[in-house]
Structure 1
Amino acid sequence: MKTLSTISSLLLSTALVLIGQGMAITLAPLRALNNGLTDSLIGLSASAYYLGFIVGCLYIPTLIKRVGHIRCFSVLIAVVICMTLLLDLFDGWQLWIILRFSVGAAVCGLYTVIESWLNSQSTDDSRGRILSVYTCITLSAMTAGQLLINVGPIESSTPFTLTVIFLALAIIPIGLTRKIAPTPVEVTSFRLSALYQRSHSAFAGAILSGVVVGSFWSLGAVFSRYYSQSTVDITWFMTTAIAGGALLQYPIGWLSDRVDRRFVIIGLCAGGAMSASAVALSTAAWWHLIAVFLFGASVMPIYAISLATAADVCGDCDFVEVGSSILMLNALGSFVAPLIVGPLMSNLSATMLFWSAAALCTVFGLYLAVQLKDSRAVSVEDQATFSAAVPDVAPASFDLDPRGLDVLATE
């Protein structure tokens, strides 16, 4: 409890950033649609955001080394605020691509500052607790951000203004903290080939999570807008999916500690395929939000289970590297997906967002089922303990994860 009180200002800044980010991630595609951008161009702008996130993973740690955590945080907040206001002022798709890329890079940098600072304030005994609180704040704040979109019409400046207010407020707790900023973070290395060699299942799960969940974040609000002109309905659509992923993550994680995690990922793929099909078929049905809830519950935990699967087969010396590779694969999937799904929605139907998710879950589920013929190097009894995780983080979060402290079996 004492540890949490020492990082209260940092956690408050985190919540404020994520409320603003939760609003922005849904506001952007809705405003783009209102501006007349096609689904293909909206998908392209979403891909630019995730490309910026990837670039941020690679280069922001160098900036933190140069100017320190507090200055870097303030500068990055200023960038996000300026880019968000420009999104509100201009509607040309070429500028939107640049602005969304810049926001993605800056947001990744904010996550890096926050997570590395949390890690510096944690002890071996408190890491798990701090990571759980951080994950809870991430999910809760993103959900709150969805609901706050309803403060004004999408075509007005009110939602964007409230977004930047929350982002600006985030500077205050960190700017006034009396705690000493941590030492600069190290640049993270990524070894995708090493991850694939260690666990085909974790590798595939990371890609699937990025493609399916990334396309949902990028185009889910656009899909909902086709079937409802009410902003309230759209925000409830997005919130319901997040709630499904948040509420079921721990029960699914509990189950994955007691059985071969590969079975759990296959089960999530099956659930994702069925629930995605149900969402596509139920656009006018009373049970539409139930299908959306089940979709979120099926696909959003795949990232955390994939990370746990990777943790089972790596030791403390390379968990950060392997975990960072999981995150990078997830981001790459999120970058590629809108480029493909956006044109499908434009040329065929908005429901292609979920029909493509159903198809991908089926294909990856079959691939993972084939992997069952290979024996695992780690028994169920030797699996690492599940820890909740979300893909909306930076590589620095893996320094905070207690699973990196355990010496586990390797293949």
Structure 2
Amino acid sequence: MASVMRSTWPLLMGILLLMVGNGMQGTLLGIRGGIEGIPTSQMSVVMAAYFGGFLLGSLVVPRMIQSVGHVRVFAALGSLISAVLVLYAVAPDWIFWAIMRFVIGFSFCGVYITAESWLNASATNETRGQALAAYMIVQMLGIIVAQLLLNTGDPAGFLLFVIPSVLVSLSFTPILLSAQPAPAFATIKRMSFSRLYRASPLGCIGIFLMGGVFSALFGMSSVWGAAMNMTVRDISVFVAAIYIGGLMLQFPLGWLSDRMDRRKLVLALSVMGTVVIVATVVAQPGILWLTLAGALVGGVANPVYGLLLAYTNDHLDQADMAAASAGLLFINGLGSMGGPLITGWLMSLVGPNGFWIYMGVLLAMLSAYAGWRMTRRAAMPAADQGNYAVVTPSATSLAVEAALDDAQSSGGDGDPQPAA
């Protein structure tokens, strides 16, 4: 791991700063929207726009890189991000914010694709798993640190919009000055959805549902917190708890999934998430339980996403993994766009509890479908499974494909890999 860190630290440092900037702006907008009196239904459009831009970026940016190269795309999209982060505070209007969020989503997708291709090229076959694991951990740590920085200023002012803009600008320095040359880049062809569904119905349906859960957590947590009249400190702690839970449970659940039928783990986790959400809605608890509930739901959402990816790839030839990962990420993107919109609609109907109800319904649907699928297909022996890969829902198809390929090629020995 030490040698991996020495060779990839510029990229990892840049990604850390990028994620701090991204994590700050997502939470800050929800808080500022409450201060400006923007209705929940309109804020849900703002938050959904990010995922729409991200989905479009996954389709367009690879062609841009092929046309003009990594460095130009990276610099251009990075400049857009830095500018938009400051412009938010200039015009606190929901339509303007939605347009800017779309641009932000598109641009962040582009810089992730570029950074991930650099990271993938800088690692050897022996170190790729460790490099990708470090990358995923850094992503989560960046968002956690971002929540702490929200307490350094007034969300009604200008400073908290300047800080992420500066951090994003600084993030390009270690990446662009890295000695690692820009790698060759090839677009990933997608597998047809019908073929992907035939390979793994649970993977396709589950990824779609978890896209909605993740986008509600990532996009609407701060909007929900503002609707609950929570303080900035409490909102930042709640959002941080979501990612801390996801980070802490990834590795032990990954280790467990390599030794059992992954569907049983998907079922157990989705049931656990549903129970936690029902208890939260019924009990109407204080901030301590809400924070714990956020950590538990985050601890479910992130590993279940990785479990579904790993389960799907267990039923594919290794040559099909790149195409399958691109298809699964597109399905996830479609689910993600609807998450904030439906959550906002529910919150408008039933109040802040709509935030929890939406996620609870999706997790209940996943548990029911996973249980039914277990009656339709025999379990794969654990020895024949590929290893679990630590993959966050914000990773692009490049990182997902590389992580799954590394895990699959090292599977079957019963020992989890560092990246898995």
Whether TM exceeds 0.5 here: the answer is yes
CA distance in 1, matches of 2:150, 2:243: 15
1:149/1:191 Cα in 2 relative to 1: closer, same or farther (>3 Å)? farther
Cα shift at 1:291: 2.1
Worse-superposed segment, 177-186 or 116-125: 177-186
- Establish whether residue 362 from structure 1 lines up as the match of residue 364 from structure 2: yes
Query: Which sections of structure 2, spanning at least 5 residues, go unmatched?
Result: 413-420
Cα shift at 1:310: 1.1
For residues 301-355 of structure 1, what are the alpha-carbon distances to aligned partners after superposition, in whole Å with 9 as ceiling and x for unaligned?
A: 2111111111211122111111222222222111012111101102221111102
* 1:310 partner letter: T
* 2:177 partner letter: L
CA distance in 2, matches of 1:378, 1:407: 17
For residues 214-245 of structure 1, what are the alpha-carbon distances to aligned partners after superposition, in whole Å with 9 as ceiling and x for unaligned?
A: 11211111212233441001000111111111
Contact 1:314 1:408 in 2 (8 A): no
Cα shift at 1:194: 2.3
Aligned position for 1:153: 154
Aligned position for 1:323: 325
CA distance in 1, matches of 2:35, 2:277: 26
Identity %: 28
In the superposition, the TM-score normalised over structure 1's length comes to 0.95
Describe the SS at the equivalent of 1:387: coil
CA distance in 2, matches of 1:166, 1:76: 15
Cα shift at 1:151: 1.2
CA distance in 1, matches of 2:301, 2:11: 30
Contact 2:122 2:180 in 1 (8 A): no
Aligned position for 1:236: 237
Cα shift at 1:193: 2.4
Aligned position for 1:289: 291
What does residue range 189-208 of structure 1 map to in structure 2 within 5 Å? Answer: 189=190, 191-208=192-209
- Establish whether residue 406 from structure 1 lines up as the match of residue 413 from structure 2: no
Root-mean-square deviation (CA, aligned residues, Å) is 1.9
Aligned position for 2:312: 310
Aligned position for 1:220: 221
Aligned position for 2:248: 247
Cα shift at 1:61: 0.8
Contact 1:118 1:400 in 2 (8 A): no
Aligned position for 1:177: 178
CA distance in 2, matches of 1:372, 1:175: 48
CA distance in 1, matches of 2:169, 2:329: 27
Describe the SS at the equivalent of 1:401: helix
CA distance in 2, matches of 1:79, 1:376: 49
Aligned position for 1:134: 135
- Establish whether residue 335 from structure 1 lines up as the match of residue 334 from structure 2: no
Describe the SS at the equivalent of 2:397: coil
Cα shift at 1:246: 1.0
Contact 1:196 1:203 in 2 (8 A): yes
Contact 1:115 1:400 in 2 (8 A): no
Describe the SS at the equivalent of 2:318: coil
CA distance in 1, matches of 2:185, 2:267: 40
Aligned position for 2:417: none
Contact 2:8 2:131 in 1 (8 A): no
CA distance in 1, matches of 2:97, 2:376: 46
Describe the SS at the equivalent of 2:57: helix
Contact 1:143 1:242 in 2 (8 A): yes
* 2:398 partner letter: A
The alignment covers a number of residue pairs equal to: 409
Contact 2:118 2:180 in 1 (8 A): no
Cα shift at 1:132: 0.6
Query: Which sections of structure 1, spanning at least 5 residues, go unmatched?
Result: none
Cα shift at 1:366: 0.9
Aligned position for 1:372: 374
Describe the SS at the equivalent of 2:319: coil
Cα shift at 1:408: 8.6
For residues 361-388 of structure 1, what are the alpha-carbon distances to aligned partners after superposition, in whole Å with 9 as ceiling and x for unaligned?
A: 1122111111111224732220111111
Contact 1:62 1:187 in 2 (8 A): no
1:301/1:174 Cα in 2 relative to 1: closer, same or farther (>3 Å)? same
For residues 227-269 of structure 1, what are the alpha-carbon distances to aligned partners after superposition, in whole Å with 9 as ceiling and x for unaligned?
A: 3441001000111111111101111111111111111111111
In the superposition, the TM-score normalised over structure 2's length comes to 0.93
1:5/1:185 Cα in 2 relative to 1: closer, same or farther (>3 Å)? farther
